[in-house]
């Protein structure tokens, strides 16, 4: 009985210390969140441990940052792991956020589906962007090689721009695919209103490192910035698939 009692005492002591550590960590994270939001006026989405001791990983509406544990310093940087062949730890974290975050838009994509689908890409697009228009001109060619193209909105000039208004019209159109093609051909799209998440798509894009268009998110969460011809993109997708 004495051994059992001592064992229980040790277990309870460890649990107590763990609980205290969690309370302290949560308090520190709350302090960091409050400081960033009050000082920079940025919305903080999540705070997590970072690979580097003394820093925490902070996901904000303006991207991923690292902050000192006391909330004094903020860094925008990439962390590479020298012991793992220069593995990009920051990109791994962002890829996980992209994969998880894209699920919220499952009912929002404007999708051009391949008949014989082998790959799915998510493209943050702007209806006035030249290379976005070039990509869309070839959407049939992407489909032919088995690539489904699904669009999310990223009006580069922001949420108060005419492009944002046009993209709301596209997403709220009776036929969004037809409206997308019309807009990318430089044609006007009839004004329309509906419950839409165009603004949320844009804000999510900013939070995961999108800063231009087109920006192509692959199924593994990695990003290809800029236009890629169909065959070149197919080759990249095949390399990722192994």
* CA 178 – CA 120 distance, rounded (Å): 20
Catalytic residue annotation? 126, 129, 132, 156
∠107-185-229 over CA atoms, to 5°?
75
User: Within 13 A of 218's CA, how many CA atoms are on the CB side?
Assistant: 17
3 state DSSP class of 88: strand
What is the rounded distance in angstroms from the CA atom of residue 17 to the CA atom of residue 177? 57
Distance CA 49, CA 64 (A): 13
> Cis peptide leading into 214, omega within 30 of 0?
yes
CA angle 7, 8, 12 (to 5 degrees): 120
| Token couple for 25 | 């960590």
48 Cβ contact partners less than 8 Å away, ≥ 6 residues apart: 56, 57, 59, 93
């Amino acid at each position: 009985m004495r051994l059992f009692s001592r064992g229980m005492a040790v277990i309870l002591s460890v649990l107590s210390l763990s609980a205290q550590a969690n309370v302290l960590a949560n308090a520190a994270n709350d302090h960091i969140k409050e400081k960033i939001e009050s000082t920079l006026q940025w919305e903080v989405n999540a705070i997590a441990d970072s690979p580097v001791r003394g820093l925490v990983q902070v996901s904000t509406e303006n991207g991923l940052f690292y902050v000192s544990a006391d909330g004094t310093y903020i860094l925008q940087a990439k962390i590479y792991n020298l012991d793992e062949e220069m593995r990009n730890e920051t990109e791994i974290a962002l890829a996980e956020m992209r994969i998880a975050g894209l699920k919220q838009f499952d009912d929002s994509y404007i999708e051009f589906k391949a008949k014989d689908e082998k790959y799915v890409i998510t493209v943050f697009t702007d209806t006035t962007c030249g290379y976005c228009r070039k990509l869309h001109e070839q959407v049939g060619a992407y489909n032919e090689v088995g690539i489904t193209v699904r669009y999310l909105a990223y009006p580069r000039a922001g949420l108060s721009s005419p492009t944002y208004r046009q993209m709301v019209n596209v997403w709220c159109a009776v036929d969004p695919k037809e409206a997308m093609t019309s807009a990318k051909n430089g044609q006007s799209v009839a004004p329309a209103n509906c419950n839409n998440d165009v603004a949320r798509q844009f804000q999510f894009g900013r939070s995961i490192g999108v800063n231009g268009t087109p920006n192509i998110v692959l199924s593994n969460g990695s990003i290809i910035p800029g236009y890629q011809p169909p065959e070149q993109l197919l080759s990249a997708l095949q390399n990722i698939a192994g």
